[in-house]
Chains A and B, each alone.
Chain A
Amino acid sequence: MIFGTSRKTLPRLRVWTGLALLLLSLQASRAAEGPQDLAAVLSALRQDNTATADFVERRSLAYLTEPLVVAGRLTYSPGGRLERQVTRPKPETMIIDGPLLTIEQNPKDPPIRVLLEDYPPLQAFVSALRALLAGDRTALETTFESDFESSGTSWRLTLTPKAVALADAIDAIEVAGKAGSLRSLEIAERNGNRTLVEMQPRP
């Protein structure tokens, strides 16, 4: 009441980067060869069906001597609905649907609903992710400067936020792949924290 929501919840960006990676890899595996430019990547990324992947996320904080590790499963549904189920160390579910972010931490408590836009980095990140999965280059480039480079079978997409609210929170999102699959996705936050997500598509 006094401070708005008392349990402020900022879902981590790394999840969504992880999801992007997953979907990139799903698409990439469809193509026999690695895409050699952004247009090719985007067209390969267009997702029309529900897709699921396991993920492992390593989060490095400046004041911690070892990263925090979280693992679970990610699901994307056409229309932009994203679901992240953490299985360890502690189960919890996060759903992004439209402008709302819903967090279910404890089955006994009612889910917490917050607005995506109250967490500008996440909001911008999700809108970029949705643009990627829709293969919508215009939407992507409204939010980010993109830098695509490839060398041999490896490629790397660096997304730098344009919007002030997002640029205040993150430096860049790096999506990396080799040949037809994605290897890693890493978010560098302004405060020096880094999050690395590795994906493994489920059949």
Chain B
Amino acid sequence: MTRRQLFILAVSYGLLGLASWLLAMTLTLRSDLSFVFPQDADQDVQLLAERLQKGPAAGLLLMAVSGGSLEDRIEIGNALATDLADSGRFDFVANGRPRPQGSNQPALFEKLYLLNPPVTAEDFSPAALRRGLEDSLAALAGAGGAATQDRLPSDPTGRLRRVMDFWSSQAQSQRAPGFWLSGDGESALLMAATAGSAFDLDKQTETLDFIDERFQALRGERPLVLAKTGPAVFAVASSRLIRQEMQKLTTISVFLVIGILILVFRTPSLVAVLLLPLGFGVLAGTAAVQGLFGEIHGITLAFGGTLIGVAVDYPIHLASHSATARSTQSAMQSIWPTLRLGLLTTLLGFLPLTLSSFPGLSQLGVFEIVGLTTAALVTRYLLPGILQPVGGATRADVPDLQVKPWAGRRLLRPIVLALALGALAYLVWQGPKVWETDLRKLSPTPAEARALDRQLRGELGAVDVRYLLVLRRPTMEAVLRDSEGLAESLQPLIDNGRLAGVDMAAHYLPSQAEQAARQAALPTRPVLERALAQASEGLPFRPGTFAPFLEDVTAAKDSPLLTYADFEAAGLAWRLAPLLFRQGDDWVGLLVPRGLTDPAALAAFATESKIDGVGFLDLKTGSEALVADYRNEALEWLALGAVIAMGILWLGLRDSHRVGRIVAPIGLTLVFTVALLSAFGVALSLFHLLSLLLVAGVGLDYALFFEHQGRHREAAAPTLRANLVCAGTTVSVFTVLALSPIPVLHGIGLTVALGAAIAFALAFFFTETARCRDS
């Protein structure tokens, strides 16, 4: 390398580093699920997105402290619960212990008679009061007596107990009262709900780290372990696992690629320049997406970076052809038309994707177009100046892969075509089975983590919410009032055993109308006094015992009604928030079914009920449909892209035979790859689809270079060598990826490794057999 070349190289890397640093400073990276949600989604899809990310269960963390002695587990479990509750990072923390004294919930319970279960005038009749007093007296003698004895004068009928029982019976999480120990007593259990979305990875990572740090500090030297589960744990663990895997795999890949390049070209300077087009490409693509969209999805960056991998092939072609050319410059000039056509075709293939309604796809389109263009321009204008011609490459330097004119060669084409038809028929026979619809199958969460999740959910009675009834109204009061009506009309389903009940905000916060009715039903002081005197006749209560009760009921009759603000003040808003919230101009109320045995009946109820603005939402099929929509839209745009790409190929080559020789291997590659994956039992997800896009991209370049450059006798050897190196590096890098235990990485690796190998073989086969026939 000359000093000038070294200088340019140094400046290039300096610029790349500086620009990357600047971009990293300003980058808005999103890591939530919005990647898969369309921008112009209707209300239900938006709701679905929101529920999946912030639903009643999304922020839930379940924890188990095990190991050590029972005393240790309980002590540390309690201390951890206290620490977490005091940290203010959680909406609530629970482990089955009574709330400490001085919490502000009693403020809410001063309005006991406005809360559920309903209160009627009959509840204050002498007969009803008598029953209440007798029950309370009996309870005083029981094990719970000491806990309730001080409340008896103000609550002689046990109203507080009934309100609390009602609340816990309505909640989705059903667990017997008492301290939370696992059934075998080996673990102390805790539950906490974080305020944010489970997919806000940075915040969740911080929260989980905080928990670990607190636990470590509390545990000291004791042999205790903390197990955590929940959506946030899965999300954070997955992203950590993927990052670790990526680092490991990238290191292996880099050594593999460098090894292959040095082995083939014996020119270290090639390795030095190889990453420049890719680096500038990723940089420009990221900057363009950030500039246009104001943010970039983490997944766009990951996939964009993978798809743009085709840019690594550009300098390889340049290097390979420089061997037989007079200079690197002239080698560039000889391959530029081919490279340019390949680039234009790829760009046009990506163009329709930019119009996608899914932000992830349109970002990906922009990323690829800008990134690949930049990579090609860097190869075209920067590399010839710094890349030295590599060692000689004559036919003797590369394996002789030419198809010899052998007797059976005329059968090859029909055989390949027959195989392709067979593969196609197989795929048609498989039908929709080739697609993966379950988002969770793509999760890198290990089986043990899932088992732990199931176990803790079982112990804590936390359910997976799948079905929802959705009620939309212009005001909060309308939502509350109408959900009370809706719950009533669900009674036939409950009576039939189709449903055990529903959880809804109105159970905790009755509508103002309902509260007012209860208030009106409360007796006046003189009436209550008389009834109480009659009821307590013959019972061993001292006169005047129930003065506080008289005070409370009288006060409740004139008190302001309960509002959402009262729940906020009492620290109980988290109870309402998942079930009652604003969406746009509307208020939305969710009714979450408990013990639902017949979802179809509930769906029918929602459609048949004459109530406006009631919807039935199935989060699972909803998200499956969304994944399918996403995939179908991607397919449509890609099909359009393929048509446009073929158009530009034809414009560039003006020869339908030559276009056929380029398009046929790509098409067949896709068919063979998909059929093979399917035969291996791999269900195709969006990740496979995007991987196939990379396969098509590299396949196009193989075919173009074979077809285009191979026509010139002196370029045949460098072309074969370049394509061999390109295919070799791609296949080896993605084979490494395919060995990863993470489903997504494994899927991408397998698809691309398989596809690139097939694409290379077919492109070579098609041009060589064509040459055999021509010669």
Contacts and interface: CB of A to CB of B under 8 A. Distances in A.
Interface of A: 1-13, 59, 61-66, 68-70, 89-90, 92, 94, 98-100, 103, 105, 109-110, 112-115, 117-118, 191, 193
A6 B168 contact: yes
B146 A11 contact: yes
A78 B181 CA distance: 24
Contacts of A13: 146
Contact of B97 (A64, A112, A115): A115
Contacts of A114: 97, 178-179
Interface stretch (B148-156, B443-451, B577-585): B148-156
A66 B539 CA distance: 10
Given A63-B545, A112-B177, A90 B138 contact: yes
Given A69-B141, A114-B97, 14 more contacts: A2-B171, A6-B161, A7-B161, A8-B98, A8-B144, A8-B148, A11-B143, A63-B153, A68-B141, A90-B138, A90-B142, A105-B142, A115-B97, A115-B179
Contact of A3 (B98, B153, B175, B178): B98
B145 interface: yes
Contacts of B153: 63
B572 interface: yes
Nearest to A193: B149
Given A1-B175, A2-B575, A11-B146, A61 B98 contact: no
A103 B143 contact: yes
B171 A5 contact: no
A63 B99 contact: no
A64 B178 contact: no
A115 B189 CA distance: 13
Given A8-B147, A63-B152, A98-B71, A3 B164 contact: yes
Given A100-B179, A115-B78, A7 B144 contact: yes
B255 interface: no
8 contacts: A2-B572, A5-B177, A9-B143, A11-B146, A12-B143, A92-B143, A112-B176, A115-B179
B138 A64 contact: no
A109 B140 CA distance: 20
Contacts of B168: 1-2, 6
A113 B146 contact: no
Interface string B159-175: 00100110110010101
A89 B173 contact: no
Contacts of B542: 62-65
A183 B177 CA distance: 38
A80 to B, nearest CB: 12
B94 interface: yes
Given A2-B572, A64-B542, A12 B145 contact: yes
Given A5-B97, A114-B179, A191 B144 contact: no
Contacts of B148: 8
Identify the 6 closest CB pairs spanning chains A and B, nearest first.
A10-B146, A5-B177, A8-B147, A10-B147, A4-B98, A63-B545
Contacts of B541: 63-65
B29 to A, nearest CB: 36
Given A64-B541, A98-B70, A113-B181, A4 B141 contact: no
B96 interface: yes
Nearest to B74: A99
A61 to B, nearest CB: 6
Nearest to B545: A63
Contacts of B99: 3-4
Given A64-B540, A65-B541, A94 B97 contact: no
A6 B177 contact: yes
Contacts of A110: 176
B105 interface: yes
The winner among B149, B150, B173 for most chain A CB atoms within 10 A is B149
Contacts of A66: 540
A58 B178 CA distance: 27
Contacts of A64: 540-542
B504 to A, nearest CB: 15
Contacts of B179: 5, 100, 113-115, 118
The winner among B78, B143, B164, B545 for most chain A CB atoms within 10 A is B143
Contacts of A191: 150
A68 B164 CA distance: 26
Contacts of B150: 191
B356 to A, nearest CB: 43
B171 A1 contact: yes
A10 to B, nearest CB: 4
B177 A7 contact: yes
A118 B161 CA distance: 19
Given A65-B540, A118-B98, A6 B146 contact: no
A200 B25 CA distance: 80
A168 to B, nearest CB: 10
Contacts of A117: 78
B164 A6 contact: yes
A94 B143 contact: yes
B141 A118 contact: no
B343 to A, nearest CB: 61
A6 B165 contact: yes
Contact of A61 (B140, B161, B572): B140
B551 to A, nearest CB: 15
Contacts of A4: 94, 96-99
A147 to B, nearest CB: 26
Nearest to A4: B98
Interface in B110-150: 138, 140-150
Interface in B171-196: 171, 173, 175-179, 181
The winner among B94, B142, B181 for most chain A CB atoms within 10 A is B142
A93 to B, nearest CB: 9
Given A1-B168, A65-B540, A112 B178 contact: yes
Given A10-B144, A110-B176, A112-B177, A3 B74 contact: no
A69 B145 CA distance: 12
Interface string B648-692: 000000000000000000000000000000000000000000000
Contacts of A70: 141
Interface string B99-110: 100000100000
B74 A118 contact: no
A85 to B, nearest CB: 12
B412 to A, nearest CB: 71
B147 to A, nearest CB: 4
A117 B149 CA distance: 20
B115 to A, nearest CB: 12
A103 B149 CA distance: 18
A2 B167 contact: yes
Interface string B323-358: 000000000000000000000000000000000000
B316 to A, nearest CB: 62
A69 B142 CA distance: 10
A64 B141 CA distance: 12
Nearest to A57: B141
A181 B78 CA distance: 41
A54 B247 CA distance: 71
Contacts of A59: 141, 145
A119 to B, nearest CB: 8
Contacts of B178: 5, 7, 112-114
A1 B144 CA distance: 18
A105 B145 CA distance: 13
Nearest to A92: B143
